Amino acid sequence: MSLAIDAATPDAPDCADDGTWLACIACGETFAPFEDVRYTCDECDGLLEVRYADPPTFDDFGAGADSEGPDRGVWRYREGLPFDLGVTLPEGDTPLHRVPRIEESVGVDALRIKHEGMNPTGSFKDRGMTVGVRVAQELGVGALACASTGNTSAALAAYGGRADMPTLVLLPQGKVAAGKVAQASLHGARILEVDGNFDACLDIVQALAARGEAYLLNSLNPFRLEGQKTIGFEIVEEFHADYGTYPDRIVLPVGNAGNTSALYKGFRELVQSGALSVDEVPKLTGVQAEGAAPMVEAIEEGNDEIRRWEEVETRATAIRIGNPVNAPKAIPGIRNTGGTAVAVSDEEITEAQRQLAGEGVGVEPASAASLAGLKKLRREGVVDADETVVCLTTGHLLKDPDAAYEAGGDPEPVPNDVDAVVEHLDG
């Protein structure tokens, strides 16, 4: 099944439901979208994609669409989604910040920051859950489940609560930021802490889902990526409105590689519909932490598959993942758009986090990896001075308050006296 950027719009198979179906990216087998619970291909266990007989154009989005619905956020793009509306809080419509001082210091023609931390639960994961939980309702499943480094659990717990569905999350013990655990707990999820890393949690939750214990809503689920592709739709629409062109490059953190896969899929659909030409598609550029960089390793070595890293470590907890399940979708997305991948140190990530905070954009460490990666690629001459770039930041600063505190300045104790305060400030 071709993942080429210029692949033609596929013909709808007999199993399609209103022009929507599932297709295996490995063997091409097709399946009805909502008849059975399905995460991978029945024939070869390959990854599945949601396919459409009529991919959307920009004119189909928002108020221009035939069906009624919101004109902002994820469901503005309903003509490119399986439903007209999902379980919503609502989500999407996140800011595309200007950061003039960082733009000047990095040395590119234009730099904007797409801040997904401004979603309802503070991360991009809400975009996937609004679609994924709606699909769970359509399938009639009884419970929801995920493995998580934190943000997925928070989003699934909130959307599961909104849908009044029980939610189970598996977290690596002692490896998830407190703010994220608190969210999942308060939203009512049942939380299991596993003596292992994220990949071990995902192995277990996949086995539970295979036994029918719950509906899996990690990014292995193809419907979740449908919501996430709307990040790309928003970026190109707003960037074009401001500059009259599309960004040359989108730089994004890579954990399970769901966003890389989702954005590439969305851009392929816009090419299929004629809304974008191939040379207008931004270069997708992935960034990982040096201690958890299997995707970077695959790209640098020219491999089509990743080598699972059993031991991973980085303060950027949201991307502390050694086996990105969406690599078979993401690697073609990077290569076919002319992008690349780069690994950065924890120190580079923290410095980028401070820089963003200095412009008023508060993000968790994993989010700042995108800016850290851009800076490194600019120093190495991979990114040119005349490029226009969007960095994707995926989670809010308060997702990991401990990391934020460590990156910031220490409070200064002073006496309870005005003159003493003035003296301290002048000292």
- Answer yes or no: is 289 within a domain: yes
Whether residues 231 and 209 share a domain: the answer is: no
Whether residues 182 and 316 share a domain: the answer is: no
Whether residues 179 and 42 share a domain: the answer is: no
Q: Where are the extended beta strands (E) located within 180-300?
A: 190-194, 215-216, 249-253, 283-289
Whether residues 169 and 204 share a domain: the answer is: yes
Query: Which token pair is 125?
Result: 């994961």
Query: Which token pair is 289?
Result: 């932490």
Inter-residue contact 41 to 26 (CB < 8 Å): yes
The pLDDT of residue 150: 85
pLDDT in tens, 10-40: 999 999 999 999 999 999 999 999 999 999 9
Whether residues 38 and 110 share a domain: the answer is: no
- Answer yes or no: is 75 within a domain: no
- Answer yes or no: is 315 within a domain: yes
The residue out of 221, 240, 267 marking a domain boundary is: 221
8 CB-side CA count, 13 A: 3
Query: Which token pair is 302?
Result: 């020219």
3-state secondary structure of 85: coil
- Kindly report the pTM of this predicted structure: 0.95
Greatest pairwise CA separation for the chain in angstroms = 81
Whether residues 300 and 397 share a domain: the answer is: yes
Whole-number Å distance between alpha carbons of 317 and 156: 18
Q: What is the domain extent for residue 377?
A: 96-122+225-407
Query: Cα–Cα distances in Å, from 59 out to 83, 105, 275, 282, 337?
Result: 18, 37, 9, 20, 24
The pLDDT of residue 75: 97
Inter-residue contact 184 to 153 (CB < 8 Å): yes
Whether residues 234 and 273 share a domain: the answer is: yes
Q: What is the CA radius of gyration of the chain?
A: 21
The pLDDT of residue 56: 95
- Answer yes or no: is 6 within a domain: yes
Q: Which residues pair with 147 in a beta bridge?
A: 170
Q: Where are the extended beta strands (E) located within 228-357?
A: 249-253, 283-289, 341-344
First to last CA, the chain: 68
- Answer yes or no: is 243 within a domain: yes
Q: 67: burial class by Cβ within 10 Å (0-12, 13-18, 19+)?
A: exposed
* DSSP type of residue 307: P
- Answer yes or no: is 139 within a domain: yes
Whether residues 247 and 211 share a domain: the answer is: no
Inter-residue contact 260 to 285 (CB < 8 Å): no
7 CB-side CA count, 13 A: 20
Whether residues 344 and 267 share a domain: the answer is: yes
The pLDDT of residue 66: 54
Whether residues 318 and 351 share a domain: the answer is: yes
Q: Could you identify the residue written with the tokens 């690599």?
A: 327
Query: Cα–Cα distances in Å, from 242 out to 96, 238, 246?
Result: 10, 6, 9
The pLDDT of residue 67: 58
User: Cis omega before residue 324 (within 30°)?
Assistant: no
The pLDDT of residue 1: 52
The pLDDT of residue 64: 53
Whether residues 20 and 110 share a domain: the answer is: no
Query: Which token pair is 168?
Result: 């189970």
3-state secondary structure of 10: coil
Whole-number Å distance between alpha carbons of 383 and 107: 10
The pLDDT of residue 127: 98
* DSSP type of residue 47: B
For the domain that residue 194 is a member of, what is the CATH number? 3.40.50.1100
- Answer yes or no: is 62 within a domain: no
Whether residues 216 and 232 share a domain: the answer is: no
Each residue's pLDDT expressed in tens, for the chain with a length of 427 residues: 579 999 999 999 999 999 999 999 999 999 999 999 999 999 999 999 999 999 999 999 986 545 577 899 999 999 999 999 999 999 999 999 999 999 999 999 999 999 999 999 999 999 999 999 999 999 999 999 999 888 999 999 999 999 999 999 999 998 888 888 899 999 999 999 999 998 899 999 999 999 999 999 998 999 999 999 999 999 999 999 999 999 999 999 999 999 999 999 999 999 999 999 999 999 999 999 999 999 999 999 999 999 999 999 999 988 999 999 999 999 999 999 999 999 999 999 999 999 999 999 999 999 999 999 999 999 999 999 999 999 999 999 999 888 888 999 899 999 999 999 999 999 8
